[in-house]
Structure 1
Amino acid sequence: MLYVYDHQANNAVGQPMVSLKADAARLVIASRLGLDQHHSLQGQSESALEEIDRLSGQSSFLSSTDASVALILSTADQQGVPFVPTDSIQIKECPDLNSAEKLLTDLAHQSGIDSLADVERSTVSSETGPAFRIAKDSLEFADAVKTLITQYNTVLVLTVPKATSKNTFGSYDGLAHQKRYVKEAPLITETTKTAPHLKATLTPDAKSNKTYNQTAPLRGILPGCFASLSACESMTRNCTGHGSCTLKYTDKDAGDLGGKCYSCACKAEVRTNADGTKKTTNWGGPACQKKDIVMPFWLISSFSVFMMFTVSWGIGLLYTMGSQELPSVIGAGVSGPVRK
């Protein structure tokens, strides 16, 4: 189970319990902790994306600081949390405690925490990042909740079973990174999906011409595959008008993840000039946003090499002419008078 307690939530009464897969629950946790950039939305269904969007809140990239978020990991033998959660999430095929501890450790490393030696005895946090705590028994759990709920605006409680399980929280970037600092709004990329950006992807307005006609350049590194046609069209702005989203392939071994890969198929742009000649422009990139400059590149490169060769040849010719001796006839004419 994953419980969310948010002081800033608009709803005073807890929302109905929802059910998500383990990797989707991980995305909710990462978004709440402000660590979206290390976790990909690829492979999530439309319904799961909508729930992730709703449960992610406003706490990741839009807040001035994310130090007001805490994550508590505990076992599932608790009879309930000592507060009314804002949201309750039932995790399908929930991983065991070892997998959950690995996830918490990776999240801590991603937030800039190098050591978690005291995480089972006290709360560990970075200078500007979220806080983490592991409480395995009921007394530690009650103490952790009582303390953190008064110090942090948002408290996440992840409860997992003690029994060994082969289930995992999915794949993600678990390597340690340099210490994080407060993110500024201009650095938000198109591929990093926080709640407001994800809403723009999922709502029907994402298919309108208004979304596709945005002139601002696409920022960040776009994925090569998208889980659905609508996600491809919205995130690439309908391939920036230089192509269309198509089903590239289907992975039959993907199971519940869908396995569908939608990507942009770029089309050449043919323009007729005033004199009747035609100019063809090719486009590439994950959103067909990159203009093919192969021909101009080779023209400039060839001209540069030719000019370098010409200048080198001219300098060499002048050097050769200056090193040659004058003919003997010219030398005799300029000699002095003969003494009598």
Structure 2
Amino acid sequence: MVMWSSPPATEINGILKGYKVVYHSLADWDEMSPPTEEVTQDEKFMMRNLESFCNYSIEVRAYTTKGDGVSSQLVFCRTQEDVPGPPADVKALVMDSKSVLISWKPPLHPNGRIKRYKVYFQSLDGFGLDKDQYDIPAKQTNYTISHLELHHRYEFWVTASTLVGEGAASRHVVQVPASHVPARMVSFSNHINVALEGDFQLHCIVVGQPSPKRTWTKNGKAITEDSHVKINDEYSLFASSVQTTDSGNYTCSAENMFGKDEITYLVKVQDMVFTTSPPGMTLDSTRATLLSGVAVTELLDGDTIVITFCSLTMSTMDRYSEEVTDRAAKC
């Protein structure tokens, strides 16, 4: 619920027609959503159908028949947590004749801070008919299940949990332990956004017997290590103090006598310049004056998401960053 005070009657400069509430989510610096504008005649407005655990900027302006007045001070808020969406993807990879490694991507919509994952599996061929499960720490995104039966089919799936509860399951995948283990990627292809002069690390985790041979390429050409691009013993690629020329497609390939696999990271290096000031507007005698204040209150009302962590004054970039750059709060 957003509430505000009307401009003083002596400063409306015409007939007050109503108010415009403008808000938009700050999901990520490079993918800011277009603002939403709602019109009301009341001095309050209920924002509905918001994303969970998502940062929003909110401003209000009065308007007359001649046009809009100056916007209120920006308010930055974040909605409360909810259960997460399903893990974005999952793999089941043969490790050996008795083991399968499960790997997954975090949910596209975590809707909060992920506290743990659960890996479920069950036999499809009469061994251990009741499903089993394992609790996995939030920072871990793969797990090896051992003591399986050779040539028997097993079904696997993963869920994520926040403080609110357990979310929906990932897609189910089936795998069969085998003696021949082809080269397969544990890591996933992904898009990576990094700030100019920042750093990034790309993983190339594989399974396979015999041990696969791995190679890194950028835009189809072999990568040569230099002062700011290194490949460690685990074949993770690390780049420091990156420039726009470091943008591109980074591909890690793995191959052994039983198979070949690869993943590609699309890396985008960009400047990140932000401003916290509302657009400049000139107040003249034909427009309504600046609203005297805006506040956001908590309200539990059906499917309305409660807004918390609001700040009414944001005078520096540091204070702005505290509200809206928590990567765990991405919507």
- TM bin (shorter chain): under 0.3
Normalised by the length of structure 1, the TM-score is 0.21
- Based on CA coordinates, which of the two structures has the bigger radius of gyration? 1
Between Structure 1 and Structure 2, the one with more helix by share is 1
Structure number with the bigger relative contact order (C-alpha 8 A, sep ≥ 6) is 2
Between Structure 1 and Structure 2, the one with more strand by share is 2
